[in-house]
Structure 1
Amino acid sequence: MIHCRSMDSPIGPLILAGHGSVLTNLQMVDQTYEPSRVGWLPENGAFAEAVSQLDAYFAGELTEFAIELDLCGTEFQQRVWQALLTIPYGETRSYGEIAEQVGAPGAARAVGLANSRNPIAIIVPCHRVIGASGQLIGYGGGLNRKLTLLELEKHQVLTSLTLFD
């Protein structure tokens, strides 16, 4: 049984869904690709930790999530999403670099398609993937949100470098 809840965030309302405390979906309300929500039931407090971690992330207090995920997709999508989880906070990779990492050189467009089907935005950081020349392209939540997330992370990295240099 899939339960869901919404939460407010600096980039707009988010919808969390999953079974038990295991997250299967984290989506922006109006993003371009949304899973079917047929049969989803209101959650019973099981996502409190996920909400707490997301709040800490948006406050610049959390750089790595510790939430159990259940990513459902094709084998290729799974490989791409696992690769996304290795991109450090505050850094970016190109679609081509991810394609190389998953053993599919030349498959940058396929990586983009897998990104567009990422069921757990933000935590599986598809916003950290950019074009080969550094341009922001392709984000289901909109390029303005992608830029906001990247700027949040960059600001936190620069602030910590300033504090510790």
Structure 2
Amino acid sequence: MGSEELRIGTAEREEAARLLSDHFGMGRITPDEYETRVTDAYAATTLGDLRPLFRDLPPPHPGFFGPPSTPMPMSPPPYAQPTTQLPTYGPGPYAPPTPYAQPMPVGYSPRSKTVAGVLQIVLPFGVGRFYTGQTGLGVAQLFATFCTGVGILWPIIDGILLLVNGGTDAEGRPLRP
């Protein structure tokens, strides 16, 4: 089976549509062409269905098309002298010192689960969720608190769960302990 017959998924279709939107924004395709190409991109089932949509466009192309073909590197002529690389040394004696910063573990949010939990309990109308960047959930809790009598329990229980289990911020990173 050739690469043109490989089936694609939703992620590939959406990447193609996003890149076509970029080309449209740069004025490379007309509104009618854009509409036709995006419709064809969402209807595509194989890699071969998507390739023609980018054939007349400069990069960027979807990453799943594979790397662009690169010519074979030419070897130097036999009479060329090899160049020597000068050694590199560290910073000079008058270079400014490098700042030392305590690195945060990779993947953690700069927000604290303790602060988010306490805000949820003390101000039980979604303030902790606004703090974590989850504004949709914060608005839902705010609405539930002021529009229903029982809705005040939701943010309080959510605050306790944040304190015990932690949670995530708007980008999906775990909250700092």
Determine if the TM-score, normalized by the shorter chain, exceeds 0.5. Answer: no
- TM-score, normalised relative to structure 2: 0.20
Which one has more relative contact order, counting CA pairs under 8 Å at least 6 apart?
A: 1
Greater strand proportion: 1
- TM-score, normalised relative to structure 1: 0.21
